[in-house]
Chain A
Amino acid sequence: MSFQLQNISLMMGAKTLLSNVDLTLNPGELLAVLGPNGAGKSSLLKIMAGEYRHHSGAMDINKQRFENYDAKERAKILAVLPQTSSLAFPFSVFEVVMLGRLPHSSGARRDREIVFAALAQTDVSHLANALYPTLSGGEKQRVQLARVLCQIWESSKEGKSYLLLDEPTSALDLSHQHHTLALAKDMAEKGVAVLSILHDVNLAAQYADKILMLEEGRAIAYGNVEEILTAPRISSLYGIEVAVIDHPKGSHPLVVTL
């Protein structure tokens, strides 16, 4: 079981946003997608989320064609955290997170347990009664993360679950960046397949199992962290000079700009 993309291409007018991307997202692993602005990272995520439908190529989730799923059934195994969310209505944090249980019919009591567990996981339990529009950007992002965690909290009879995160750390302070990725990693270890768009190469180096590099809509590299994160490759991708050294703790590479 996996999330398989074959030969995905996307045109927007005359512009090619993605060309012939193949990808397999496996349960149990955290895949980081890296690339400069405009490389097609968000487009790829939006295609996988079912938002863009005018792409060519085929997608399968757990061996079933993406389009053949009933929307609600698919929502039970595929959760998406968008980059920004513009909720302006005064929902409480609890109510926002509860929306993650919408595709499920697990009963109010179980839903509530899951919501509180998710709130605790993303470190926003203390905000349960706060109104969402009054939160800071980082708090909002953590609440939204709790919401998507709720959506795939329990393993479904539909098969393995998938979690797509679009820059989940963009508004977070240093400790919450690590907290969030540790959480994503934790989800992966529980058998969920996680894909996350990241800008921080070192976060990717520390937490990801696999890395996909996109450049101008093409997948230029895919593989294990140590294989992919080499100085020449990062330099050519981002156009800045870097060196890759061993992390002081030795477990993964560390990228430093020169």
Chain B
Amino acid sequence: MSASAQLAVDAKALKVKWSLMVLTVAMFIALLISVGIGPMKISMYDALSVILAKAGFMESQVSNVVHSIVSSIRLPRSLLAVLVGSSLAVCGAAMQGLFRNPLADPGLIGVTGGASLAAVLMIVLGGTTFSWLYSYLGDYTLMIAAFSGAFCTTMLVSKIATTSFGTSVTSMLLAGIAIGIVTGAGVGILTFMADDAQLRTLTFWAMGSLGGATWSTVLAAGTMISITLFCLPMHAKNLNALLLGESEARHLGVNVEKVKRQIILLAAVGVGASVAVSGMIGFVGLIVPHIVRLTLGPDHRYLIPACAVLGALFLLVADMISRTIIAPAELPIGLITTIIGGPFFIAMLVSRTRSNQL
């Protein structure tokens, strides 16, 4: 009996391995193409040679202009797309596991809202009321503020939505909407107070953009996002057990309270850092995990790495569209992910309502 069953399990492991490999290769190709796209076309080969030179593997073989465009403008931006894309997708997957519901996108449950309120607070009042914070935290100020906002809202949503009977999805989404409205109002008040220069940053930022990428933002976001990307996979088995239910996970020896706290913290770090450097880029955390689950299943040991790579690929492509579709102007990337993500979310909602799974 078990021969065929065993084979199916192995076939799945093989499929996962192949998918991860193909996705990784695709992501690198997309990275090279994305570096090449822009007012000045740069071939993939030249892009690769600059990257290799930058990494110290070889001497640069391209002109100085190409080298400086790639290394100081395009490469940081593409790397930021990779970082933010993986981080949002992985945090989405982790939150969905935590709330045991595939609709728990960081944007939908208010986490991004909390992060952005805190970040806008820093942008608008950072020069005056909170200037002392900048003197302590420097480049990380915005990021740490966004992280704190993300953390507080996640804790709040989880407190509101979790009862002794488990997590109520309705409360989770409603709490998210309420928090979204409140933080939106907060952002509104701050926008009202902002001066012209700040206003421009804010608009840009509210629609999501990778345009502000420099090596220092890449480094700062990279440090924080790496923590999330390295630590969340360690909780993969715990997240799997949590999908069975909190009691079941507890019976399996999982320290549920501690694990939940750590996952919330890690997701808040990832979302906070992403929001701080790129603003509101919605729905990545919803679409990417959903697609991975459809093809590879819900096992977090595969889901998390696959989301990291596919999330990066997704945002690289979205950024390429954002840079080319109305060139020479730029369409904010957050609008693109929302245009794709909104209908996607509605479709998910409809199919789940039909099958009574909401």
Residues of A within 8 A of B (CB): 46, 49-51, 71-76, 78-80, 82, 85-92, 94-96, 99-100, 102-103, 112, 116, 119-120, 125-126, 128-129, 151
Contacts and interface: CB of A to CB of B under 8 A. Distances in A.
Given A89-B102, A112-B6, A99 B253 contact: no
29 contacts: A46-B247, A49-B247, A49-B251, A51-B250, A71-B250, A71-B255, A72-B253, A74-B253, A75-B251, A80-B247, A82-B247, A85-B245, A85-B248, A87-B244, A88-B101, A89-B100, A89-B298, A91-B243, A91-B298, A92-B12, A94-B5, A99-B240, A99-B252, A102-B240, A112-B6, A116-B2, A120-B1, A125-B5, A128-B5
A49 B248 CA distance: 10
A120 B248 CA distance: 22
A89 B244 CA distance: 9
Contact of A78 (B100, B166, B251, B357): B251
Interface string B84-118: 00000000000000001110000000000000000
B297 interface: yes
B241 to A, nearest CB: 6
| Most chain A CB inside 10 Å of its own CB: which residue of B245, B247, B252 | B252
Contact of B254 (A100, A102, A129): A102
B235 interface: no
Contacts of A86: 100, 166, 245
Contact of B245 (A78, A87, A116): A87
A215 B82 CA distance: 61
Contact of A71 (B166, B248, B253): B253
Interface of B: 1-2, 5-6, 8-9, 12, 100-102, 166, 237, 240-241, 243-245, 247-248, 250-255, 293, 297-299, 357
A221 to B, nearest CB: 28
A75 B255 CA distance: 11
Contacts of B255: 71
Contacts of B244: 85, 87, 96, 99
Nearest to B11: A129
Contact of B299 (A75, A95, A102, A112): A95
A92 B252 contact: no
B100 A88 contact: yes
A238 B255 CA distance: 39
Contact of A82 (B9, B245, B299): B245
A102 B298 contact: no
A92 B243 contact: no
Nearest to B10: A112
Nearest to B246: A51
A46 B164 CA distance: 12
A90 B245 CA distance: 14
A99 B250 contact: no
B245 A102 contact: no
A91 B5 contact: no
B252 A100 contact: yes
Contacts of B293: 89-90
Given A88-B100, A88-B357, A89-B298, A128 B252 contact: no
Given A80-B251, A129-B5, A90 B237 contact: no
Nearest to A125: B1
| Most chain B CB inside 10 Å of its own CB: which residue of A89, A92, A95 | A89
A197 to B, nearest CB: 15
B9 A94 contact: yes
A103 B252 contact: yes
Contacts of B243: 87, 89, 91
Contacts of A102: 237, 240-241, 252-254
Contacts of B299: 91, 95
The 8 closest A-B pairs by CB, nearest first: A75-B253, A128-B5, A72-B253, A89-B298, A103-B253, A80-B251, A129-B8, A116-B2
Contacts of B253: 71-76, 102-103
Nearest to B101: A88
Contacts of A129: 5, 8-9
A128 B297 contact: no
| Most chain B CB inside 10 Å of its own CB: which residue of A71, A72, A74 | A71
Contact of B297 (A46, A50, A95, A119): A95
Nearest to A81: B251
A153 to B, nearest CB: 14
Nearest to B1: A125
A90 B240 contact: no
Contact of B8 (A80, A91, A128): A128
